Structure 1
Amino acid sequence: MMAKKLLLVDVDCGVDDAQALMMALAAPDVQILGITCCHGNTTLENVCKNVLRVLKTCDRLEVPVYGGASRALLGQNMHASNYHGVDGLGDVPDPTCPGLDSLKKEHAVLAMLRIVSEYPGQVTLVATGPLTNLALALNMDPTFPQKLKSLFIMGGNMESRGNITVCGEFNFACDPEAAYAVLNGFECPTHIATWEFTCNNSLPWTFYHEWISQDTKKAEFMRKISAHSFAFTKSRSNHSGEIWTREFVSCDSYAVAAAIDESFVSSSIHCAVSVELSGVLTRGMMVLDPLGKLQKDHKAFIMTKCDIEKLKSLLMEAMK
């Protein structure tokens, strides 16, 4: 019997984090050792509640959940309520949702350090929100990245397109210092699903409607929590040239799909990366270094193409 892939998932649970989590929970060859929560799409408290809602929907409340960083390293916070809803899951509350007393008492960063030390060289860390928890883990234990099998990130950009600032992708722009620390301090194999990559490998709306129309409890949950973001996206597509409004983009699902199926990514750029911290217009922008000007030994894999049919299959299975 083949050993299961061991995953640690760090989220700022909005709608696409929920989609990605449900994909990982449905994968038969994956064991999620823990879910760590970070500020981002909504407040930390909402993020924790949202993860518990997802686990309840999937009948997987045995998966441990840990609360982590409630703000960026420098303290300023931004949220994405226009897309995800104020609560992060489309503002369709569930009065039967498990309370915050269902969280583990251990802080997310301490849980990360402990879990990875218990399984050295075996854990794949997937980060789908701001990288604050990862940066704090690095500061507490500089050997933390060496103990990871690999790191998969949804965040950053490769063509300087922004979605929250002129040149900044949301997760990196939320905490540029954390993103900088992780991209310059983690030397484990690092795979990045950028904003433009997800948009360039989007799914048709016909698939989206087929996906959420399945007659299951999970699909009903997804229909409810996705309605707000669907309406927002459609309203933007009527008077916008933005690439992400044209089709269905479940950003975080790309990083999770890559982590659970190594054949998902069909093409990538292998080069050093960093993050701009001081630019007036470019703060939080990820910088690619194909010419080697940064003189960094560690290079990341920047995803460029993927197997769209495989993504569809993983998403469909997540709703069954």
Structure 2
Amino acid sequence: MMNYMLIDCDTGIDDSLALLFALKRKDVRVMGVTTGFGNSTATQSAHNSIRLIQLANPGYDVPVAIGAEHALNGKRGDPVPHIHGKNGIGNVKLPPACQKPLEEHAADFIVRMARMYPQELTLVTLGRMTNLALALQKEPALPKLIKNVVAMAGALYVPGNANLTGEANIVGDAPAADIVLTAGFDLTMVTLDVSMRTRLTAQHLEYLDTVCREENRAIVDYLKEAFSFYFHYYRREINFIDSCPVHDPLAILVAVDPSVVLMRKMRARVETMGSLTYGKIVTDLREGRLDTPFAAFCLEVDGERAIQSILAAFTEP
């Protein structure tokens, strides 16, 4: 079955692997990429995405639309060059591409595509949910038009990575995340609970270097260079030795093969006011509550199986 996918991202290093993974899977058709602020600016993320599309050479056109440069409350997010490099992709210089971003705003593009392909599109958000929240404001029927949403976002039973309890994609725009959680989408949340246990290692990349298809040689060369930057950050900050979590590629994988994770459906909101808990997902476990829709939260993962599934996109004929 073909998976028709929109990808909303803030194209950093792990986003780049997610995008390349989606573009190389034969059961995925990437119908468009929208970008927002986060790991880099929305504009830089768009240019990164275009160059990665050229690198993947999927054999079809993938439009790219630039979206929000700040949160719904107007707060601008600062890029994180110490994590993802000055250009968002580990300071790797990819060849320039002829493709240009659309003049259309990402939110308008999401709405247009949802109306054009009702109940056919999976929207995967790999960054802040600002673009999706803006699209929802423009088209309140969006939850009925989008087939399903898979979001790399949140932390339930593990520490946050942006503050004590909050995951970066939610903390970066907590009101937007709360809007999405309560909108009624068929929503899957790929949380830090599973993404932190899905770790790519230098050994994985060495293996990929030996078995990748020749057409993917340039992709593997890029991944080795970009992830060496990412490995360095995780070694310095968390003492991971030549390894890193691959948050965003896992979200793409869950969108096409949810069997790699175990999920629990829960009602939840996002804390948008707390000084210590801003961006925390608050689950409502009370019985009989009907005022908040369910979302499926990923709680367990077969991390090595997930990694092998991701790498297979670059090795299998």
TM-score by length of 1: 0.89
Partner of 2:83: 83
Residue identity in the other structure for 1:153 = A
Contact map agreement 1:275 1:286 (CA 8 A) in 2: yes
Could you tell me which runs of 5 or more consecutive residues in structure 2 were left unpaired when the two chains were aligned.
Answer: none
Report the more deviating stretch, 65-74 or 289-298: 289-298
Q: Which residue of 1 aligns with 2:250?
A: 254
- After the TM superposition, which of the residue ranges 268-277 and 222-231 deviates more from structure 2? 222-231
1:144 alignment partner in structure 2? 142
Matches of 1:255 and 1:157 in 2, distance apart? 14
TM-fit CA distance, 1:261 = 1.8
Q: Distance between the aligned counterparts of 1:129 and 1:161, measured in 2?
A: 18
Question: Secondary structure at 1:162's aligned position in 2?
Answer: coil
For 1:224-243, list aligned pairs within 5 A: 224-238=225-239
User: What is the CA-CA distance between 1:153 and the residue it aligns to?
Assistant: 0.3
Q: Distance in 1 between matches of 2:10 and 2:288?
A: 33
Following TM superposition, by how much is the alpha carbon of 1:292 offset from its aligned partner in structure 2, in angstroms?
A: 4.6
- Correspondences of 1:67-78 after superposition (within 5 Å): 67-76=66-75, 77-78=77-78
Give the counterpart of 2:313 among 286, 307, 318.
Answer: 318
Residue by residue, what CA displacement relative to the aligned partner does 1:31-54 show, whole Å, maximum 9, x if unpaired?
111111111111112101110121
Whether the 8 Å contact between 1:34 and 1:64 is mirrored in structure 2 is yes
Which residue is 1:120 aligned to? 118
Deviation at 1:213, TM superposition (A): 6.1
User: What's the counterpart of residue 223 of structure 2?
Assistant: 222
Structure 1 residues 311 and 116: CA distance shift in structure 2, 3 A: same
Give, in angstroms, the shift of residue 196 of structure 1: 2.3
After superposition, the CA RMSD in angstroms is 2.1
The structure-2 alpha-carbon separation of the partners of 1:79 and 1:122, relative to structure 1 and needing over 3 Å to count, comes to same
User: Could you tell me which amino acid in structure 2 is paired with residue 35 of structure 1?
Assistant: V
Aligned-pair identity in percent equals 28
Q: Secondary structure at the match of 2:93?
A: coil
Equivalent residue for 2:259? 263
Contact residue 205 and residue 224 of structure 2 kept, 8 A: no
Equivalent-residue separation in structure 1 for 2:198 and 2:227 (angstroms): 20
Runs of 4+ in 1 over 6 A off after TM superposition: none
Aligned counterparts of 2:121 and 2:205: Cα–Cα separation in 1: 31
**5+ residue gaps in structure 1?**
239-243
Give a deviation string over 1:219-251, Cα, whole Å, max 9, x none: 00111222211111122244xxxxx77943110
The normalised TM-score by structure 2 is 0.90
Map Cα deviations across residues 252-274 of structure 1 (whole Å, 9 max, x no partner). Answer: 11110011123332x11110011
Residue 62 of structure 1 corresponds to which residue in structure 2? 61
Counterpart contact for 2:114–2:142, Cα < 8 Å? yes
Deviation of 1:189 (Å):
1.5
Contact 1:92/1:225, CA 8 A, preserved across alignment? yes
- In structure 2, distance between residues paired with 1:204 and 1:91: 20
Contact in 2 for aligned 1:208/1:248 (Cα 8 Å): no
Counterpart for residue 289 of structure 1: 284
Query: Cα distance 1:64–1:279, how it changes in 2: closer, same or farther (>3 A)?
Result: same
1:202-221 matches, cutoff 5 A: 202-211=199-208, 216-221=217-222
Structure 2 CA distance, aligned partners of 1:102 and 1:314? Answer: 31
Does residue 1:93 correspond to 2:89, yes or no?
A: no
